[in-house]
Amino acid sequence: MLEVRNLGKTYRGGVKALDGIDLSIPAGMYGLLGPNGAGKSTLMRTMAAIQLPDRGSVVFDGLDALADPVALRRRLGYLPQAFGAYPHASCQTMLRHLAVLKGLPDDAATARQIDALLDCTNLTAHAARAVTTFSGGMRQRFGIAQALLGDPALLILDEPTAGLDPEERIRLYNLLSQLSGDRVVVLSTHIVDDIEQLCSKMAIIHAGKVVAQGNIAGLVEKLDGHIWQSPVAAPNGSPALQLSMAYRRGSPVYRYFSRSSPGDSFVPVPPTLEDRYFLELRGDRPC
Amino acid sequence: MLTRADWRSEWLITRRHPLLWAVIAGSTALVALAASNEAPRTDRELYESAVRLGLLVPAFILPFLAGAITPVFTLRDAEHGMDDLLAAYPQTPRDWLTVRLSSVAALLICLGAVQHLAIVGILAADHPGKFWDLLLRAGKLVALVHVPASLIWACVLARVSCAAGKASMVYLAAAFGWLAYLGLATLTDTPLIAGSFVAWEPLRTAMVLVDPYAITALVNPPPVESLPLSRYLAIGLGRAGWLVLCYLLVRGIKTLPASLAAQDSSVRSPGRIRRPLPWLPGLREAPGCFALLLRWTIADKFFLLALAGWAVLVFPEVFGGMTYAEQLSQLTPDSRDALNRVMWDMAPPMGALLLLYAADRASRMSRMAGMDGLTAATAYSSWRLLAAQLACLWVVALILLVFTLLIVLSAQLAAQSSIQPGEYLQQAGQIVTGLLLTATAFVALHGIVRSRMAANLIGLVLVVLGHSSLAPAMGLLHPLWKPLSLPLEVPDHVLGLDRNWSALASFAVAWSAVCAAAMLFAVRAHHRGLPYPQVALRRVLLNPATVAIVLLLTGAAWQALAIQRMLESDFSLVSANERAQRRAAYERRYAAWLDRPQPQVAAVYAFVDFAADGGRADLRVTMQLVNRSAASIDRILVGRNLLDVPATVAIDSAAIEARDPATGQAVFRLIAPMRPGETRTLRFAARITRSPLASSRSLLILSSHFASLPAFQILPVIGYQREFSLRDPAQRVQFRLPPLAVVPPSQLGELGPGSSLDRYQTTFETVISTPQRLHGVGPGELVRQWNEGGRSHFLFRTDRAIRNAPAFFALPWAARRWQVGSLTAEIRAPGPIGADNPSLLGMRDTLTWLNREMAPYPGRTLRLIAAPEFGSSGFALPQVMLISHRRSFRAHPAPDAGFDQAYRRAVHETAHQWFGHAIGYGVPEERAFLVESLAKYAELVMVERRYGSGAVRALVDWESDRLDRSRLAPAMVTVPLLDAEDTEDMYSRATVAFACLRSRVGDAALVAALRETARSSQQTGRPVRSLDFVQALKRIAGKAGEPAIDRMLTSNLPIAVGLARSGCAGDRSPQAN
């Protein structure tokens, strides 16, 4: 269990990146959803103990991560939002080096583990290539592989699906689903689909605050009967809250949150996590 | 808990970095090159070479190695964007530091050890029996110097890495440390740096302890008595102090570079958007991204720190150094003296290095800002982009130059020295061209080469080749091997700056064409941060830019050829190896002529015509040859002299039988053999030219307002010249010559019946024609002077035969004469010369003393000419002396000098009229004792008579100190003073030895021995040996003086031991210790 209590972080210039975050993250996949600039990466870095907060605590299985970051890091696998690699070093060499830095013995067992990770991230064929020559998706898979070195109990993945093509994304979903098991896997993203595919529990972060958290089904369920869809916009003066306007096959689709139908052309539709997400961003608190 | 795997893994990663191998290979090659350029002959020279090279590694190579290598270990995570990733790894800062720091230090130590091993291997190749001894000494140097120095550099740069988080700052720190040490070493007189001096004695004393390389303690004379100041204790204390400092530095590291970068990469608050160069409103509207680039380049922490560091280096150098003339002698400086301290040897390389950095920033701005893709996709043309970069770098070059001038000016103001704005403008005008060309080349380089590291490495190679002696050391003598370098000379107060303009124009034209072609190519082939496109050859060839590039390169090649022709006419392109090769061929082909009777030169009639424009002199000479042998001569071997000038030679009633252009020899077959006593006439004509590119660091100077024609290096030589034989045993082996049986002077037997002085003596009659503004000077008395055809003519004639070493001069200064008994002392120098002028006093005193005490002066007039900086502080020809204008006419004694260097030098050069031109020639086996060492004796006597015993004690102290400092292996046995060939022996050791002999046998005995030796030579007409003088001295001094004479002159004991055993050790004043 990862417990985050009252985390606060204000950057120079007064920007509040974290504003009293409280989270209890159990074993399994846990999603952090939020728009760009919401404070997700700051929260992920703070939970990984590579950035100190102004206040609050991060406790993992009884271990105070901020007081003893090295102890946490022995059990941590972390994939940052963006990372580089040493030029001229092959993927396998890099993993071997990183394994040593993680404290793994430089022996046959570690080599087997590296081979297995290369295999499960589909990088075996590219093991001899320099990571700097990898495509975005391959590099992301390398990032996952290095995070999994040493079989960590806590995995923190900051936007792991960024830059992946649909096939790679599905492969990653499958991999992460297999990995979760007893370990805590925290996944941050601004792509709602990632959360829906992978997580049963989540939190929505906006402007440094947790604006919603809990079971995904529960979060969505509460909007039942309040989501309306129409090919036209609601008339002016309607109290309904527009959640989104998108095109489907060239035709506009308007979705509104309202306790009653906003107009004649509107039909009630089942709510989605995206509806909940947009609703939280619009600032209304229906539940 | 760290394991071996941590270090192994560290090495596995770092060993893949190409920079690491480039630096390792480059530095090791540099060391090997330096070692292979050493040619030690004796054991002492071998060990001194080993020490010198061994100290070169930490002092000159290590800072570069450390600066280049450290970021690979300490900053690679941050530099390659792995900071966030690795920050989450369970490695404590202590573990990180332990692994990285120890890896850097271990690599530096191992590299140093390998380089020391390379030095030993190369030096021992010619001295195989000394391998183990050299290895042991190298091991000692590694342990005492290299290991602590590696630890110091590793700790300091690790701290800088963690504090700054940028490789550029580490480079800056290493460069600053290197330069600062060079500055300190220059001011504390280390034998590793030519021209270094003790600026402030307490600084040198402090350096004995705090020198990070312990070089000061190692190369300075060890304190003999007190244990607390003994050499090894000083070294130990110094190392301990440094290591404590290093420990504190490392302990103070709280944040690792990765954490630093991690903090930096976190979300930043929106900052104020700053306009480019708000303080230069006009530039805001400048075309393209010039203003943005300029701001990006100069508003940079590294750039500003580099400027600050530059100011820290330059100001003390100018402030403290502009008064320096030589040791114990000061100038009243003007702007030329102040600017000369930095503008010619410091500003160009430092400017080039800073421009290299600025070029990297300006050219890679888009990439550094992560905007390269965006920029490449814009319609902004490559030529505008490159033009903006070029304009930016030119402005940076001007900023550097103006900043340097301002520092010099402030130093002058602080020192209250006289300021000449015109000098500033002229020197800046000459330096700026090189900086602008360098800037252009770097912009083109970055435009052409996509890889940032490759472009910077190429740029660095250009800087190193252009501003170091690496190319000449590799045998590449042509100045065009020094890319973008303009071979300008430091101006003195005689030749001035004018001659530089022609050289500047010649080279600037060539390099400008190359740079313009490179820029044009860069515009065409600019990568814009993208992969190179495929090239269609046909399209490239038909492009007008290609034609322009080819035309520009053709123009550059044309100009290079013109430079080549000028250099060839100046004999500047003959390497030492080629010269040795020619000498070997000369010996092989003509050594047999040594046993053949050959005529001797009895009289020389010369006409010298100095051209008005100063670049040329015509020399027409008629030499009267006489057969003084007992046999008839049917063939005469006529050869070229040291300077290979195009000339015609003819002998009356003789025809050329064989000509050998390679060695410059011609065999004349006489129509009728020369019988004993008969004469023939040899006619020689030569046009000697000096291009504007010629170095003025020689006796051959042909400028429009000062000309010096050393005819003794130009006139043809008759017969085989033993002096031209190769003496170096290694070279003799290399060129397959038989070993030379060299008998040292201390073991030279009686001379054979064939040796006579008249072989080397001749009479001279010379007419010198000069432009009317100049005055001719030649050997002998001025008999007549007249004007004809708008030119001045001067007829000189010697009263009797003098040593055959003529030189002719055209000078801007009229003669000023003083009577010295029946003789005349004549000085040609600018400015007023009072009767108390030290050079005049030295000349008069010595003339009087030696003319009376030793032998009559063989003429009526002795001339002293104030000379430009021609590579020596003085040069004595028969009846004419050249003495540095700077050191002897502009300088005055430093407050703590104790004696006057100008007086000492005048005495020394005047004494050569006896020691060198009366005795000291005619025996090829003789070395410098009769010439230089006896002149040093004259200095002692004259300085004491003129200034008293305090002054002579100061002189002896100074020479003792010089001797101690020049010896890296002072305890080793040495050659007897009679056989000495090293300058420190023939000058400094001679002073110390004669000071001892004066106290033991007295001046009366010494002078009597000199008198007897000279008289004997005059009576017999035969040359004098050093041993003749020693034997005469022993005879006169008696048994009591013999041990001291032996110890000082003919023993190979270290001088300190000889002095102690002779009871002279206490003669040195305490401060010399």
* Interface residue of B79, B83, B97, B266 to substitute, partner A, most A CBs within 10 Å: B266
Q: Please, which pLDDT band fits residue B491 given cuts at 50, 70 and 90?
A: very high
Residue with tokens 């190519």: B521
What DSSP string runs through B173-217?
HHHHHHHHHHHHHHHBT-TTSTT--BS-HHHHHHHHHH-TT-HHH
Within chain B, what is the greatest distance between any pair of CA atoms? 104
Q: Which domains does chain B have, with CATH numbers?
A: 18-264 (no CATH), 278-489 (no CATH), 586-719+755-910 (2.60.40.1730), 916-1061 (1.10.390.10)
pLDDT of residue B779: 94
Spell out which residues of chain B touch residue A12, defining contact as CB-CB under 8 Å: 268-269
- B875 phi and psi, to 5 degrees? -150, 125
Q: Does B451 touch chain A (CB under 8 A)?
A: no
Distance between start and end Cα atoms, chain B: 53
B268 and A97 in contact by Cβ < 8 A?
A: no
Q: Is the pLDDT of residue B102 over 90?
A: yes
Question: Residue B834 CB: number of other CB atoms within 10 A?
Answer: 7
Q: Is the pLDDT of residue B269 over 70?
A: no
Looking at mean pLDDT, say which of B235-239, B473-477, B769-773 comes out highest: B769-773
Whole-angstrom distance, CA of residue B291 vs CA of residue B296: 9
B154-213: per-residue pLDDT in tens? 999 999 999 888 888 999 899 889 888 988 888 887 777 776 777 777 888 888 889 999
Long-range pairs, A170-175, Cβ under 8 A, ≥24: A171/A122, A172/A140, A172/A141, A172/A144, A173/A197, A173/A198, A175/A120, A175/A121, A175/A144
Q: In this structure, what token pair is assigned to residue B1052?
A: 């190979």
- B340 phi and psi, to 5 degrees? -60, -25
Q: Is the pLDDT of residue B1006 over 90?
A: yes
Q: What percent of chain B has pLDDT over 90?
A: 63
B863-897: per-residue pLDDT in tens? 999 999 998 999 999 999 999 999 999 999 999 89
Whole-angstrom distance, CA of residue B65 vs CA of residue A58: 44
Q: Does B8 touch chain A (CB under 8 A)?
A: yes
B259 and A13 in contact by Cβ < 8 A?
A: no
B23-48: per-residue pLDDT in tens? 899 999 999 999 988 888 788 888 88
Q: Does B20 touch chain A (CB under 8 A)?
A: no
A79-90: per-residue pLDDT in tens? 998 899 998 889
Per mean pLDDT, which range of A124-133, A257-266, B780-789, B1064-1073 is the poorest?
B1064-1073
* B-chain residue closest to A130, CA distance: B16
Whole-angstrom distance, CA of residue B590 vs CA of residue B321: 51
Whole-angstrom distance, CA of residue B858 vs CA of residue B856: 6
Whole-angstrom distance, CA of residue B400 vs CA of residue B434: 13
Per mean pLDDT, which range of B174-183, B259-268, B745-754, B903-912 is the poorest?
B259-268
pLDDT of residue B235: 87
B90 and A76 in contact by Cβ < 8 A?
A: yes
CA dihedral sign, ordered B290, B296, B297, B298: positive
Q: Please, which pLDDT band fits residue B288 given cuts at 50, 70 and 90?
A: low
Whole-angstrom distance, CA of residue B985 vs CA of residue B227: 29
Spell out which residues of chain A touch residue B10, defining contact as CB-CB under 8 Å: 97
Q: Please, which pLDDT band fits residue A169 given cuts at 50, 70 and 90?
A: confident
Q: What percent of chain A has pLDDT over 70?
A: 98
Q: Is the pLDDT of residue A254 over 90?
A: yes
Distance of alpha carbon B448 from its chain centroid, rounded? 36
Average of pLDDT values for B576-605?
A: 93
CA–CA–CA angle A133, A137, A140 (5° rounding): 90
Average of pLDDT values for B952-959?
A: 94
Q: Does B85 touch chain A (CB under 8 A)?
A: yes
* A-chain residue closest to B10, CA distance: A97
Whole-angstrom distance, CA of residue B673 vs CA of residue B663: 25
- Bridge partners (DSSP) listed for residue A255: A229, A244
Amino acid, single-letter form, for residue B199: A
Q: Does B269 touch chain A (CB under 8 A)?
A: yes
Average of pLDDT values for B687-691?
A: 89
pLDDT of residue B280: 52
Nearest to A88 among B9, B16, B86 (CB): B16
Nearest to A85 among B82, B87, B262 (CB): B82
Q: Does B89 touch chain A (CB under 8 A)?
A: yes
- Bridge partners (DSSP) listed for residue A254: A230, A245
B81 and A82 in contact by Cβ < 8 A?
A: yes
Average of pLDDT values for B425-445?
A: 96
Buried b (16+ CB within 10 A) or exposed e, B107-136: bbbebbbebbbbbbebbbeebeebeebbbe
Nearest to A84 among B82, B88, B259 (CB): B82
pLDDT of residue B262: 53
Torsion of CA B105, B106, B108, B109, to 10 degrees: 110
What DSSP string runs through B346-393?
THHHHHHHHHHHHHHHHHTHHHHTT-HHHHHTSS--HHHHHHHHHHHH
Q: Is the pLDDT of residue B273 over 80?
A: no
Residues 220-259 of B with CB under 8 A from A: 259
B82 and A17 in contact by Cβ < 8 A?
A: no
Spell out which residues of chain B touch residue A98, defining contact as CB-CB under 8 Å: 89
Spell out which residues of chain A touch residue B90, defining contact as CB-CB under 8 Å: 70-71, 73-74, 76, 101-103
Nearest to A106 among B9, B259, B270 (CB): B9
How high does pLDDT run on average in chain B? 89
Distance from CA of B90 to the nearest CA of A (A): 5
B262 and A50 in contact by Cβ < 8 A?
A: yes
Per mean pLDDT, which range of B145-149, B340-344, B449-453 is the poorest?
B449-453
A88 and B18 in contact by Cβ < 8 A?
A: yes
Average of pLDDT values for B897-925?
A: 94
Q: Please, which pLDDT band fits residue B1071 given cuts at 50, 70 and 90?
A: very low
Whole-angstrom distance, CA of residue A191 vs CA of residue A35: 9
How high does pLDDT run on average in chain A? 90
Spell out which residues of chain B touch residue A80, defining contact as CB-CB under 8 Å: 84-85, 88
Spell out which residues of chain A touch residue B454, defining contact as CB-CB under 8 Å: none
pLDDT of residue B1072: 34
Q: Is the pLDDT of residue B226 over 80?
A: no
Nearest to A84 among B8, B80, B268 (CB): B80
Q: Please, which pLDDT band fits residue B972 given cuts at 50, 70 and 90?
A: low
Q: Is the pLDDT of residue B270 over 50?
A: no
Whole-angstrom distance, CA of residue B1073 vs CA of residue B1071: 5
Q: Are strands A201-206 and A28-33 parallel, antiparallel or unpaired?
A: parallel
Distance from CA of B87 to the nearest CA of A (A): 6
B55-73: per-residue pLDDT in tens? 889 988 999 999 999 999 9
Amino acid, single-letter form, for residue B25: A
Average of pLDDT values for B4-17?
A: 91
Residue with tokens 């010379």: B766
Nearest to A87 among B80, B87, B263 (CB): B80
CA–CA–CA angle B324, B328, B329 (5° rounding): 50
Specify the DSSP class assigned to residue B199.
Answer: S
Q: Please, which pLDDT band fits residue A163 given cuts at 50, 70 and 90?
A: confident
A185-244: per-residue pLDDT in tens? 999 988 888 898 889 899 999 999 999 999 999 999 999 999 999 999 998 888 899 999
Q: Please, which pLDDT band fits residue B274 given cuts at 50, 70 and 90?
A: low
Q: Please, which pLDDT band fits residue B604 given cuts at 50, 70 and 90?
A: very high
Q: Please, which pLDDT band fits residue A181 given cuts at 50, 70 and 90?
A: confident
Question: Residue B573 CB: number of other CB atoms within 10 A?
Answer: 13
B6 and A88 in contact by Cβ < 8 A?
A: no
What is residue B664's three-state secondary structure? coil
Average of pLDDT values for B534-544?
A: 76
Distance from CA of B60 to the nearest CA of A (A): 30
**Angle, helix A136-148 to helix A166-180, in steps of 10 degrees:** 10
Nearest to A50 among B18, B87, B267 (CB): B87
Per mean pLDDT, which range of A19-23, B108-112, B216-220, B327-331 is the poorest?
B216-220
What DSSP string runs through B505-555?
HHHHHHHHHHHHHHHHHHHHH--TTSPPPPP-HHHHHH-HHHHHHHHHHHH
